[in-house]
Structure 1
Amino acid sequence: MSTGQRTSVDVVQGIYEAVERGDLDEIIAALDEDVEWVEPEGGTYGGTYHGPDEVMENLFTELGGEWKEFEIEQDRFIVDGHTVIALVTHCGIQAESGQRFEAPMADVWEVVNGRVIRFHHYVGSINYVNARTNDGE
């Protein structure tokens, strides 16, 4: 890209890479001040969070200690205007249970002017839940 401007997919890929590295500053820098972040109800981090501070407090500050190993395989991106649908696979070992898991997920991102204004996370596998609860044994 000759302008040096990041695409919406570039922004999303950068966030996934920052999550793997535990780079909270890079994640925060990509979020709009009015971001809406939705995690599945019933899950450990379930809820709707508004603004980068709520996202960090309720999700990322806790998430780092939960996993002994964690990786996000970026499988496919579908773009429609400001919307990026990311089909990804979360892989890792849950620290407390020791359970290894691999679970497909779908994330819907809305990126405007290089900043995330909305995120919705969809969990697609019971393996993710089982790794957290020891039910996978």
Structure 2
Amino acid sequence: MTAANLDIIRATYEGTPEENAKHLRAALAPDTTWTEAAGFPYAGTYTGADEIFANVFKRLATEWVGYKAAVHTYLADGDRVAAFGVYSGAYAKTGKAMSATFAHLYRLRDGKIVTMEQYVDSATVRQALD
């Protein structure tokens, strides 16, 4: 199951933004909990695809210019997959660019994402907001 879980997560990062969103929505369990780190502009825990897309991805798409989450390393262990990378983009209201390291830890069950926890250098991201 580890290889299949890794493939599921990899498919949410490595295509076009539209492909990634389509793959992510398909991979989310109905009761997925998605936790954005304290200090990050979208901090909080969201449940289900509609909440996750409204409170995280819609905002990323409309509040940032050229926003990207580029993964450089994946690690898989049983039902968990970690993605490590760098966020980049410019905050639309200020025009300030940022680059911040991140880690996302996913837990999957039966081929569906049941939890995601974000770890991020939120101070770097917040500097772009001011």
TM-score (norm 2): 0.86
Classify the secondary structure of the residue corresponding to 2:126: helix
Q: Distance in 2 between matches of 1:68 and 1:22?
A: 16
Q: Tell me by how many angstroms 1:16 deviates.
A: 2.0
Q: Who is 1:54 aligned against?
A: 51
Whether contact under 8 Å (1:106, 1:124) holds in the other structure is no
Alignment partner of 1:77 is 2:60:
no
1:66-94: per-residue Cα shift (whole Å, max 9, x none)? 11112222111121111111111111122
Q: Tell me by how many angstroms 1:25 deviates.
A: 3.5
Residues 44 and 125 (structure 1), Cα distance of their counterparts in 2 relative to 1, 3 Å cut: closer
Q: Distance in 1 between matches of 2:122 and 2:45?
A: 21
Residues 76 and 25 (structure 1), Cα distance of their counterparts in 2 relative to 1, 3 Å cut: closer
Structure 2 gaps of 5+ residues are none
Q: Who is 1:15 aligned against?
A: 12
- CA RMSD in angstroms comes to 1.8
1:26-73: per-residue Cα shift (whole Å, max 9, x none)? 321110111011112343211111111211222122221111112222
Q: Distance in 1 between matches of 2:29 and 2:10?
A: 16
Q: Higher relative CO (CA 8 A, sep ≥ 6), structure 1 or 2? A: 2
Q: Distance in 1 between matches of 2:60 and 2:69?
A: 13
Q: How does 1:1-137 map to 2 (within 5 A)?
A: 7-17=4-14, 21-23=17-19, 24-133=21-130
Q: Distance in 1 between matches of 2:25 and 2:60?
A: 15
TM-score (norm 1): 0.82
Whether contact under 8 Å (2:46, 2:52) holds in the other structure is yes
Between 23-32 and 42-51, the greater mean CA deviation after superposition: 23-32
User: Whose radius of gyration is greater, 1 or 2?
Assistant: 1
